[in-house]
A and B are shown apart, each in its own frame.
Chain A
Amino acid sequence: MTRDREGEGVTSRHRARGGARLRVAAFALFSGLLFGLSGCHEEEVGALRVGTNVWPGYEPLYLARGLNYLGHRVRLVEYASATQVMRAFRNGAIDAAALTLDESLQLIDHGQNVEVVLVMDQAPAAGSIVTHGKRASVAALKGGRVGVEGTAHEGYLLARALDQAGLSVDDVHIVPLTAEEHERAFIEGRVDAVVTVEPERGRLLELGAVPVWNSAEIPDPMPGLMVVRSEALPRYRHHLKTLLDGWFRAVRYLHEYPDDAAERMQRRLRVPLETMPGLLQTAVYPDRNENLRLLDDTDSPLHRAAGTVAGHMTAYRLMVREGATGVRLNAALLKDMRP
């Protein structure tokens, strides 16, 4: 009897101690949870800043923004010229940029680590050299003043055009102009010729400019690319997916509702609505599969194109670093996305 009672006592004591332990454990768990939660907030990653200049090949980006496909994760920064875009990229003000192949190569030449995540525009180079009419050919430009944004795509075009005409950059007087300065300098007569691209090209032609050279005369492809700073890529992985998804949805929208899309784009490009179809024909937007093909690192036509362009650029002293001729392609993001 007595022993039984003692036994019971021991058991209940054990039980009581067990209960206390349980309570202590629960308390610890709860405290830990609270503490953990308080320190466990998501690391703050701001919006992905994407720099662009005005260029029909990049326009679906703005269509996507207008259609709210990009959300708050992607911020488009609109610069006046590609030079500004590249400067901002170098200064770290942006982490992604829409640039042509030669511009991208320039960035690489400036020591930036970039990767191509999207081929936005597959059209061949689309620039022109226009004059007041007195100088009717490229060769006639010798000794003349040529307005050009030398640090951008136009500089490359001028160098190629002069090269084709058997001239060199030293044969002309270079007037450095940014894109927005072309029109005024041309009207004021400060320059004899201007290297221009759409949509300024169209406006200059309306002002009576005479095209003496067209980029169609060079066979090199000059795709528009979305490049991302390599260091920033892991951080903005989700943002970039949003960007790419928005891009493809906008392109799709452009095909499905071309009129509405043209109206939306026209406002930004500041060109008459009726010129929009022609303007859009200058751009070729490769789809996802085409992109996958183009970004295939092992055998990409881009590598070849880059090699060609880099060769010319080095020749024209537009690139100075040795070995900085290749571009790094990154198809991983596209592959991750739903088809």
Chain B
Amino acid sequence: MTTPRKPDGRARRLRDAFKLPLRVAVPLVLLVFAGITGLYGLRHYTDIAYHQVEEMSLRGLRVDMDRLQETLEFLLREGNLEQVSHEMTALASDTELLEGYLLDDWGEVVAGTRLDRNGVSLAEMLGSAREADRELRAGVVERALDSLSGIVYVTPDGSRVGGAYPVFWTAAASELRPSRVGVLFIEKDLSAIKAAERGRVENQVLRTSAFLVLLAGGLWLFFDYAVTRRVARLVGATSRLARGDLSARTGVSGRDEIGRVAIAFDRMAEQLQQSRDQLVESEARVLLLLDSAAEAIFGLDADGYCTFCNPACLQALGLEHAGQMLGRKVHDLMHHSHMDGTPHPEDDCRIQQALRTGQPVHVDDEVFWRADGTGFPVEYWSHPIRRRGRAMGSVVTFLDITNRKRADDALRKAKQELEQRVEERTGELTDTNRRLTAEIVERERVELALMQAKEEAETANQAKSEFLSRMSHELRTPMNAILGFAQILESDPSEPLSDNQSESVSEILRAGYHLLELINEVLDLSRIEAGRMDMSFVSMPVGEAVSEALHLVEPLADQFRVSLYDRTGALGEENIWVDPTRMRQVLLNLLSNAVKYNLPEGTVSVYCERRPEGMLRVTVEDTGEGIAESQQRRLFQPFTRLTDDYTRVGGTGIGLTITRRLTELMYGHIGFESSAGVGSRFFVDLLLADAHPMPEGPLQPEAVDGAEPETVTATGTGSVPTGSAPTYNGRRTVLYIEDNQANMELVRRILERRDDLELVAADSAGEGLRAAQARRPDVVLLDIGLPDLDGFEVLRRLRAAQSTQDVPVLAFSGDTLPEDVARGMEAGFFRYLPKPTSIDVLLEAIDEALAVNGPLTRG
């Protein structure tokens, strides 16, 4: 084998100099090519152009000489030598003409471009010319004479063209064939034409070369952009990759070959990097696994030498560092003897058995030997490492099982003890279990009893509420009669009362209204207690609620000579979440209390202030006598009054209870401060709309709103309208179905005052229905709680009969709960009038019904 001779430094440098990068080499080659092409083109095309010039000149010369020859022969035949001379001198007008003369057969100039040369011999003519030219010209003339043919030539340097033509010259008149022969010689200069032609060619070649250079430049730019730069990036990335930088990417894209190669390269690099990352990670995991493994692990090569070991292994073998184990024969190091000290031949070594058989080995009845010479029982697993089907080594995992062996013994003893103790404890547990069962049975019984008690209590509460509600209804019916008749007594113009009587009637009315108020409040309280009070929340400005309540309470304040002050200020514009009706009720209660329990000429003021947790406090402050401490505790108890003076201070004693409940239903709370002799401040804290979402509370039907306490409250003044009632031609019939005779009598008395109305009375539902069929009333007034049929059924039947289906029916009932009113309106009553009601309200309702029903003729 021969070693190739290393090139010496100079040769290598030379060679390296030629190893130019493509981006330099390609344009260089193109430029060189353009240069060579330019030079070659210049030479080649100049030659061609020169050749063409010569050819053209020769051709032109031939034509000229042909003509001149003929002309001269003719003139010579005619003997016109003068004209011959003119023809020749005229040649001088051609600036390219150098020489032009006609020689006779003696070789003398007969005529030429210059007259002064006439008669000069050819030898003299040629004397001044260069040797070469002389020979050329003389030779041409000679050849022309010899061959009698026209001869043209180009000088060897190509600068001139010339010709010599024989000219036949008739010497005598009797000659058929001319006996003399002259020579016409002409020579022309080509240098000017050639120079011009060369300029043209140079121009053309220059342009072509410039185009080629431009093309080369363009190609280079394209090549540089499309190939070399991208290849350079590819090469750079490859080099980086080769140096181990697996993050190297070309960043080159494109669908051409380079682009595809680059993309494939990037993909490959990506995969390499991923693989290496995974490898590194995997290796780190393996190392971590080895280092953190509690088991001792080491590796063997095919010859039984240690290739790796973990800290647990070193510790188990009492070695200080891995160097004491790596590269050493494992069998000799720690597996050389049996437990009893007898040598353990390597051939029997079961660790290396895995190497020989290629099968894993598990052993737990051998010993390993520590560095200090002590042995310990081990359990080990030897797993062969296979590569291409051959065991290249093995991985051995072992445990020091000294403790296990000891523990096995201890365990056996402990087990026996445990079994004994378990038996003892089982007896104890059985007793305890029995006791616990008895206790649980007892507890269940108590819970059941509690639940029953609770249910009973709830039932009792419900029953109480319903009782109260029922009672207030039952009370209203007679109240209707009492108040109605009292109003009639008071206002009957036909039977004026004496002063004492009038005072008595007023007292009856005042007591009746108080009683009615009491009934309403009891009703409200019973609804709250029964959980039947629904709230309809809206966001409204607090000032609005306050001013409305103040307005309502003004008559009372005037009566008690108390001044009212609205001091809500800017806070009055704050919005609060309230049920407007309930809010009004709350404020009215507080304000009316503040007026009623005030001193004459006292004041009542309303304030607002912000409280924590998004609450707004509305405070009603009076200048009354205040509340004694003994009374303060039972202030919110029902039926609590601060005074027994009904004449001066009206009230039922459950107003504050209801107010408190209503406030709580609006997620607020009520409180007060009072000092005897100074006055009291009652306040309610309510939710600010901008600090809280709308509280939950089911919406109530609108009809229910319309049947709130105002309608329940009889507000009649006792005056019976006489002139204001509409009058009609003919009397209109009002059918009143009512089982209570007092109420029937009351309505009869009321209607008697109207000439245009006629009452048809029926004391039961059956009778009422018959009367309706018989009389077809204009309006029906119907009690709901009839003994034979309830009012709703009566209404249904009236509607079912064709004759009465359009007659408006007014309900007149003591059931005044909002849901009762709503139910009635839904069933189709024209109006739902509560008992008791004022005379005015009743008549108004009847008039409205009459206005709606049937064709009426106004009188």
State whether A92 touches B168 (Cβ < 8 A). Answer: no
Among B146, B173, B176, B177, the most chain A Cβ lie within 10 Å of the Cβ of: B176
A2 at the interface (CB under 8 A from B): no
**Residues 799-823 (chain B) with a chain A CB within 8 angstroms:** none
A contact residues around B166 at 8 Å (CB): 90
State whether A90 touches B177 (Cβ < 8 A). Answer: no
Among A169, A172, A318, the most chain B Cβ lie within 10 Å of the Cβ of: A169
State whether A317 touches B62 (Cβ < 8 A). Answer: no
State whether A318 touches B149 (Cβ < 8 A). Answer: no
The stretch of B63-71, B267-275, B578-586 that contacts the partner chain? B63-71
B-side interface mostly: mixed
State whether B146 touches A92 (Cβ < 8 A). Answer: no
A93 at the interface (CB under 8 A from B): yes
Over the window 153-187 of chain A, the binary record of Cβ atoms lying under 8 Å from chain B Cβ atoms (1 yes, 0 no) is 00100110000000001101110100000000000
Q: Which B-chain residue is minimally distant from A91 (CB atoms)?
A: B150
Over the window 24-62 of chain B, the binary record of Cβ atoms lying under 8 Å from chain A Cβ atoms (1 yes, 0 no) is 000000000000000000000000000000000000001
B contact residues around A176 at 8 Å (CB): 77, 170
State whether A174 touches B175 (Cβ < 8 A). Answer: yes
State whether B177 touches A155 (Cβ < 8 A). Answer: yes
Contact among B65, B168, B176, B177 with A91 in the assembled complex (CB-CB below 8 Å)? B65
- Nearest CB in chain B: distance from A256 CB, A: 39
State whether A159 touches B62 (Cβ < 8 A). Answer: no
Over the window 137-149 of chain B, the binary record of Cβ atoms lying under 8 Å from chain A Cβ atoms (1 yes, 0 no) is 0000000001111
B174 at the interface (CB under 8 A from A): yes
Q: Which A-chain residue is minimally distant from B151 (CB atoms)?
A: A92
B178 at the interface (CB under 8 A from A): yes
Q: Which B-chain residue is minimally distant from A106 (CB atoms)?
A: B177
State whether A93 touches B62 (Cβ < 8 A). Answer: yes
A contact residues around B146 at 8 Å (CB): 111
State whether A159 touches B70 (Cβ < 8 A). Answer: no
B165 at the interface (CB under 8 A from A): yes
A112 to B166 alpha-carbon distance, docked (Å): 13
**Residues 742-794 (chain B) with a chain A CB within 8 angstroms:** none
Q: Which B-chain residue is minimally distant from A111 (CB atoms)?
A: B147
**Residues 254-312 (chain A) with a chain B CB within 8 angstroms:** none
A contact residues around B147 at 8 Å (CB): 110-111
- Nearest CB in chain A: distance from B476 CB, A: 120
- Nearest CB in chain A: distance from B641 CB, A: 122
A214 at the interface (CB under 8 A from B): no
State whether A91 touches B174 (Cβ < 8 A). Answer: no
Count of A-B contacts judged by CB separation below 8 Å: 63
Task: Assign chain B's interface to a size class.
Answer: 20 to 34
A224 at the interface (CB under 8 A from B): no
State whether A155 touches B176 (Cβ < 8 A). Answer: yes
A87 to B62 alpha-carbon distance, docked (Å): 12
A contact residues around B177 at 8 Å (CB): 106, 150-151, 155, 317-318, 320
B contact residues around A110 at 8 Å (CB): 147-149
Among B147, B148, B170, B177, the most chain A Cβ lie within 10 Å of the Cβ of: B177
Q: Which B-chain residue is minimally distant from A92 (CB atoms)?
A: B150
Contact among B62, B148, B165, B173 with A174 in the assembled complex (CB-CB below 8 Å)? B173
A24 to B825 alpha-carbon distance, docked (Å): 112
B contact residues around A253 at 8 Å (CB): none
Q: Which B-chain residue is minimally distant from A159 (CB atoms)?
A: B176
Contact among B70, B150, B176 with A318 in the assembled complex (CB-CB below 8 Å)? B176
Contact among A91, A169, A173 with B66 in the assembled complex (CB-CB below 8 Å)? A91
- Nearest CB in chain A: distance from B185 CB, A: 14
State whether A173 touches B173 (Cβ < 8 A). Answer: yes
State whether A112 touches B149 (Cβ < 8 A). Answer: yes
B contact residues around A111 at 8 Å (CB): 146-149
Given A92-B150, A174-B173, A317-B176, are A151 and B62 also a contact pair (CB < 8 Å)? no
Given A92-B150, A111-B146, A176-B77, are A169 and B174 also a contact pair (CB < 8 Å)? yes
State whether A151 touches B176 (Cβ < 8 A). Answer: yes
A55 at the interface (CB under 8 A from B): no
Given A111-B147, A111-B148, are A92 and B62 also a contact pair (CB < 8 Å)? yes
A137 at the interface (CB under 8 A from B): no
A150 to B168 alpha-carbon distance, docked (Å): 12
State whether B173 touches A88 (Cβ < 8 A). Answer: no
Contact among B62, B70, B150, B175 with A84 in the assembled complex (CB-CB below 8 Å)? B70
State whether B168 touches A151 (Cβ < 8 A). Answer: yes
- Nearest CB in chain B: distance from A113 CB, A: 10
Q: Which A-chain residue is minimally distant from B73 (CB atoms)?
A: A87
A170 to B175 alpha-carbon distance, docked (Å): 8
**Residues 699-750 (chain B) with a chain A CB within 8 angstroms:** none
Task: Assign chain A's interface to a size class.
Answer: 20 to 34
Q: Which B-chain residue is minimally distant from A150 (CB atoms)?
A: B176
Over the window 145-175 of chain B, the binary record of Cβ atoms lying under 8 Å from chain A Cβ atoms (1 yes, 0 no) is 0111110000000000000011010100111
A75 to B147 alpha-carbon distance, docked (Å): 26
Over the window 103-145 of chain A, the binary record of Cβ atoms lying under 8 Å from chain B Cβ atoms (1 yes, 0 no) is 0001000111000000000000000000000000000000000
Q: Which B-chain residue is minimally distant from A174 (CB atoms)?
A: B174
Among A87, A92, A111, A155, the most chain B Cβ lie within 10 Å of the Cβ of: A87
- Nearest CB in chain A: distance from B75 CB, A: 12
- Nearest CB in chain B: distance from A208 CB, A: 27
Q: Which B-chain residue is minimally distant from A149 (CB atoms)?
A: B176
A contact residues around B176 at 8 Å (CB): 148, 150-151, 155, 158-159, 169, 174, 316-318
- Nearest CB in chain A: distance from B180 CB, A: 12
A92 to B66 alpha-carbon distance, docked (Å): 10
A186 to B149 alpha-carbon distance, docked (Å): 33
State whether B62 touches A170 (Cβ < 8 A). Answer: no
State whether B149 touches A173 (Cβ < 8 A). Answer: no
A contact residues around B62 at 8 Å (CB): 91-93
State whether A172 touches B66 (Cβ < 8 A). Answer: no
A110 to B144 alpha-carbon distance, docked (Å): 11
A contact residues around B174 at 8 Å (CB): 169-170, 172-174
A170 to B173 alpha-carbon distance, docked (Å): 9
Given A150-B177, A158-B176, A170-B174, are A90 and B150 also a contact pair (CB < 8 Å)? yes
A106 to B148 alpha-carbon distance, docked (Å): 11
State whether A88 touches B168 (Cβ < 8 A). Answer: no
- Nearest CB in chain B: distance from A144 CB, A: 12
- Nearest CB in chain B: distance from A230 CB, A: 13
Q: Which B-chain residue is minimally distant from A177 (CB atoms)?
A: B77
B contact residues around A151 at 8 Å (CB): 168, 176-178
State whether B175 touches A91 (Cβ < 8 A). Answer: no
State whether A150 touches B70 (Cβ < 8 A). Answer: no
Q: Which B-chain residue is minimally distant from A158 (CB atoms)?
A: B176
B contact residues around A158 at 8 Å (CB): 176
A316 to B174 alpha-carbon distance, docked (Å): 11
A87 to B165 alpha-carbon distance, docked (Å): 10
B contact residues around A172 at 8 Å (CB): 174
State whether B69 touches A91 (Cβ < 8 A). Answer: yes
- Nearest CB in chain A: distance from B152 CB, A: 8
A159 to B176 alpha-carbon distance, docked (Å): 9
B contact residues around A84 at 8 Å (CB): 70
Q: Which B-chain residue is minimally distant from A171 (CB atoms)?
A: B174
B contact residues around A106 at 8 Å (CB): 177
State whether B77 touches A87 (Cβ < 8 A). Answer: no
State whether A92 touches B70 (Cβ < 8 A). Answer: no
A88 to B66 alpha-carbon distance, docked (Å): 7
A to B CB contacts below 8 Å, 20 in the list: A84-B70, A90-B148, A91-B65, A91-B66, A91-B69, A91-B150, A92-B149, A92-B150, A93-B66, A111-B146, A111-B147, A111-B149, A112-B148, A151-B176, A169-B174, A169-B176, A173-B174, A176-B170, A318-B177, A320-B177
Q: 19 additional contacts, CB 8 Å, given A111-B149, A112-B149?
A: A84-B70, A87-B66, A87-B69, A88-B66, A91-B62, A91-B150, A92-B62, A93-B62, A110-B148, A111-B148, A148-B176, A155-B176, A158-B176, A159-B176, A169-B175, A172-B174, A174-B176, A176-B77, A318-B176
Residue numbers of A with Cβ under 8 A of B are: 84, 87-88, 90-93, 106, 110-112, 148, 150-151, 155, 158-159, 169-170, 172-174, 176, 316-318, 320
9 residue pairs, one from A and one from B, having the closest CB atoms: A91-B150, A150-B176, A155-B176, A110-B148, A111-B147, A170-B174, A90-B149, A176-B77, A111-B148
